[in-house]
């Protein structure tokens, strides 16, 4: 029974940490943000293991994994498989708490969480670029 309450407290703590404050023009209530770690497409794997999980899947197959290097702004990596190539895109957290894909650019599509980023690109085209080429895909997150 004790473990049950610890798990609930831990989940609430994670939700509180990941929330974003709304501007004064919006409601004064805090929105609890879902955490990507709870999604079936989140995996605690390294780059090589991510590629093993995605290899041979359909174009756009993807997963989110933690970024293991020391960088305060890059929290996660979106690993994508398309046209027999792998793309590992940084999910970077900006100063205001939003998430963007890749290196800093003049114009960036911002998301309130990695989940919203994945959901957006399930229905919209994402251009993936690396040294072996570039492709345009819609994301298809892997499940368990």
DSSP-H helix ranges across the chain: 2-18, 47-54, 114-123
The token duo for 142 is 């892997």
Q: For the chain, which residues make up each domain, given as ranges?
A: 39-141
Distance CA 137, CA 83 (A): 10
The β-bridge relationship of strands 126-130 and 61-66 is: unpaired
Q: Which fold has domain 39-141?
A: SHC Adaptor Protein (3.30.505)
Q: Would you state the pLDDT for residue 19? A: 53
The token duo for 15 is 């939700």
Instruction: Encode the chain (144 residues) as per-residue pLDDT tens digits.
Output: 555 555 555 665 666 665 544 444 444 445 555 689 989 999 999 999 999 999 999 999 999 999 988 878 898 999 999 999 999 999 999 999 999 998 888 889 999 999 999 999 999 999 988 887 789 999 999 985
Q: Would you state the pLDDT for residue 124? A: 97
pTM for the full predicted model: 0.74
């Amino acid at each position: 029974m004790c473990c049950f309450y610890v798990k609930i407290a831990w989940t609430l703590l994670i939700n509180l940490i990941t929330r974003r404050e709304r501007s004064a023009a919006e409601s004064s209530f805090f929105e609890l943000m879902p955490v990507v770690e709870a999604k079936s497409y989140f995996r605690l794997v390294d780059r090589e293991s991510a590629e093993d999980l995605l290899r041979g899947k359909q174009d756009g197959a993807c997963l989110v994994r933690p970024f293991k290097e020391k960088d305060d702004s890059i929290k996660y990596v979106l690993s994508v498989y398309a046209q027999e190539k792998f793309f590992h895109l940084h999910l970077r957290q900006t100063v205001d708490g939003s998430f963007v894909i890749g290196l800093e650019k003049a114009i960036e599509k911002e998301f309130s969480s990695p989940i919203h980023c994945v959901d957006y690109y399930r229905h919209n085209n994402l251009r993936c670029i690396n040294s072996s080429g570039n492709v345009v895909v819609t994301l298809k997150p892997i499940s368990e």
